[in-house]
Structure 1
Amino acid sequence: MAEPVAETDLKQTPLHDLHVELGARMVPFAGYAMPVQYKAGIMAEHQQTRTKAGLFDVSHMGQAFLIGPDHETTARALEALTPSNFVELGLGRQRYTVLLNDEGGIIDDLMVTRSVSEEDDGRLMLVVNASRKDVDYAHFRARLPENVRLEVVEDRALIAVQGPEAVAAVAAHAPKAAELAFMAASSMEFDGIDCHIARAGYTGEDGVEMSVPAGAAEAIARALLADDRVEPIGLGARDSLRLEAGLCLYGHDIDEMTSPVEGAITFCMQKRRREEGGFPGAERIQRELAEGPGRVRVGLRLDGKAPAREGAEIALVDGPVIGTVTSGGFAPTVGAPIAMGYVPAEHAAVGTALELVVRGRRLPATVANMPFVPNRYYRKPKA
């Protein structure tokens, strides 16, 4: 068992003092002191994000750039490590992808953004998981060609503002934010401060993620929190929101043993890459695409009010154990407990009756469609 991390050993984000001032309960997370909740509590923070807007400090995430002589060179270098199409990624567009090991397992999932400017078009911006930063950076450095380099960014904070009123709140300070389509990004000014803003997030709601200078992060956060539509949100509600949205948490729902097909995230693989291959673990992944995987991530709705947490066993009704829950909890918007986990493909059909074993009790559950709460990502009206 690992030794507990001493509070003095934890890193702090540029918003740490603001969290403390706002009454956050701070906990260790991925080597950082992070707010798990504020005074209102997780349930209220969850509902705030679903109905108005929530501000999340995600500065613990890793920010970096891949830099090459031109877009195609940099994109090809990234395609050699991931199964996504980056050569054809448009200017100012963002894409979700996974970094793969040689067996087709997922080293990490990450966001990649192409510069909006043709003058700066050999750069791809990466945002990686906090717990995987060192692993990811080492992997890139070991496998990138000589003409493409990794540049890690240490002087930036990352702020997410999520919810149906999030973009309006941000656009009051950065008007160009309102013009962004879903999964588009651009450089712009927030009250005169240069920022990089992407219309994306991890809640299933409309919203943005803002890469800002570390020294300006507190001023930006305070400006947003002065808006009656915006409240601070901690890790607890972030987790319940992403669970309702059916989104994976690295190290829980996906890991180095999981393929993108098993993880049900094949949307990160565009047609050309599926057909051509040329990425690590392509033989396994293309076989699973053609024949189906042996197991697959599914959504689960439980009867009653008792939740099933990570590690709970999934069993056939009155039968043997066939899988494991990877994420689970009470879903405030659904008003019931939900979970995700892995089961053999033959038991993955929506509507399949199963049982989840919690403290020796078998709780009835049903395989359900994901997301559990409909996504409300913004789509620009067609002209």
Structure 2
Amino acid sequence: MKKTPLFQTHIDAGAKMGEYAGYEMPLFYPLGVKQEHLHTRAQVGLFDISHMLHIEVEGIDAAQLISRLCPYDASTQKLGEAKYTFLLKEDAGIIDDLIVTRLDDARFLIVANAGCADKDLAHIQDTAKDFTAAVLPLARGFLAVQGPQAEAALTDAGFDVAQMTFMSGTEPKADWFVSRTGYTGEDGFEIAAPVAEIEALAAKLLSDARVEWIGLAARDSLRLEAGLSLYGQDLSEDITPHEAGLIWAIPKDLREGGAYIGAEALAAKIKEGRKRMRIGLLADGRPVRAGTPLVSADAVEIGTVTSGGFGPTIDGPMALGLVNVADADAPMFALLRGKSIPMTRVKPPFTPHNYKR
């Protein structure tokens, strides 16, 4: 398995390690999953996300290339603006979900999921053959600093972030990148730094009593409470943005067509009307996990749980499901080891977002 630059740091911190996206990653620390989750909601959680892929796109056609790859017009993107978007197949299935930040007139940074790194890079490089733009994967350390006191902790650590708002990014110095983004629903930042400097950065942040290491288990419960989709579970190549409840990320004028890959298919599917949709669910009793069938009152399968677990903040089980549109408002149950668990449809997020707009 691959290791991030902070592997030994996690071992020294007493982390329980496990495999994720081909990397040996910290699952949890001695604090424990529930307390890590609650600490992030109350103070500051520090996450190693160095497994994620950073790709710089630079050249006179950089904006045109991004606009071909993703369903938005990158030429209108402001400097320092970060966009949540997708790579789509020709049939409008989601190759990956991304954040793309405009760093300069002819330079963009793509941050992609670790599990999709190889296929994303190949797809971007192949598409770039028709454009005057260089595609450069970057070797970096990457940290997420999340929680209501994240801004204060970073300010005390010497970062000038108080004026940044949600979905913005900047380069404080050469080969560093800071964005006000995250995957927890809390206010927070993601910081990329050279591999040789990431360990010192982590140590500096952890010297603040408000900051604790947080593992992947709590990261998952935090993102699920926030109603955020996880690629490989809630999103995949056979799910469109429309079905995933993410059509808001595509400008209205581009839902009827455009220059991006998958535009024609997406427009046709939107016109036809979706047959499946993502919904939020609360379970009556025990948590239900991804892959659990969802059935109607007469035991007919109508969908599946795509993500599920226990939410420490809401003190109960929660889930995201992909279900038939025709059955989305009817009574439904999760079929768990032969037992029917009543499920109540709710609108995500399960706990409010706390982004700084």
TM-score for the superposition, normalised by structure 1: 0.90
Q: Is the 8 A contact 2:65 2:131 kept in 1?
A: no
Aligned Cα root-mean-square deviation (Å)? 1.4
Range with bigger deviation, 78-87 or 199-208? 78-87
2:90 corresponds in structure 1 to 102
Displacement after TM superposition at 1:59 (Å): 0.1
Give the Cα–Cα distance (whole angstroms) in 2 for the partners of residues 272 and 88 of structure 1: 14
Code of the aligned partner of 2:135 = L
Displacement after TM superposition at 1:194 (Å): 6.3
Equivalent of 1:342 in 322, 333, 339: 322
Displacement after TM superposition at 1:175 (Å): 3.6
Partner SS for 2:76:
coil
Give the Cα–Cα distance (whole angstroms) in 1 for the partners of residues 145 and 9 of structure 2: 16
Q: Is the 8 A contact 1:101 1:281 kept in 2?
A: yes
2:111 corresponds in structure 1 to 127
Give the Cα–Cα distance (whole angstroms) in 2 for the partners of residues 368 and 42 of structure 1: 25
Q: Is the 8 A contact 1:100 1:281 kept in 2?
A: yes
Displacement after TM superposition at 1:195 (Å): 2.6
Correspondence list, 1:142-291, <5 A: 142-144=126-128, 145-154=130-139, 156-188=140-172, 195-291=176-272
Code of the aligned partner of 1:315 = V
Q: Is the 8 A contact 1:64 1:125 kept in 2?
A: yes
Give the Cα–Cα distance (whole angstroms) in 1 for the partners of residues 337 and 257 of structure 2: 47
Identical columns (%): 43
1:360 corresponds in structure 2 to 338
Displacement after TM superposition at 1:141 (Å): 1.2
Q: Is the 8 A contact 1:174 1:188 kept in 2?
A: no
Q: Is the 8 A contact 1:85 1:272 kept in 2?
A: no
Correspondence list, 1:55-134, <5 A: 55-69=46-60, 73-115=61-103, 120-134=104-118
Displacement after TM superposition at 1:366 (Å): 1.2
Q: Is the 8 A contact 1:277 1:286 kept in 2?
A: no
- Is 2:290 the partner of 1:310? yes
Give the Cα–Cα distance (whole angstroms) in 2 for the partners of residues 67 and 269 of structure 1: 23
In structure 1, the gaps of 5 or more residues are 1-9
In structure 2, the gaps of 5 or more residues are none
Correspondence list, 1:7-26, <5 A: 10-26=1-17
Partner SS for 2:242:
coil
Displacement after TM superposition at 1:77 (Å): 1.3
Give the Cα–Cα distance (whole angstroms) in 1 for the partners of residues 157 and 29 of structure 2: 25
Give the Cα–Cα distance (whole angstroms) in 2 for the partners of residues 205 and 309 of structure 1: 24
Code of the aligned partner of 1:94 = A
- Is 2:350 the partner of 1:372? yes
TM-score for the superposition, normalised by structure 2: 0.96
1:42 corresponds in structure 2 to 33
Closer/same/farther in 2, CA of residues 194 and 78 from structure 1, 3 Å limit: closer
Q: Is the 8 A contact 2:90 2:265 kept in 1?
A: no
Q: Is the 8 A contact 2:257 2:263 kept in 1?
A: no
User: 1:284-308: per-residue Cα shift (whole Å, max 9, x none)?
Assistant: 322333343110111111112x111
1:6 corresponds in structure 2 to none
Q: Is the 8 A contact 2:280 2:320 kept in 1?
A: yes
Give the Cα–Cα distance (whole angstroms) in 1 for the partners of residues 345 and 83 of structure 2: 28
Code of the aligned partner of 2:106 = G
Partner SS for 1:279:
coil
Q: Is the 8 A contact 1:85 1:269 kept in 2?
A: no
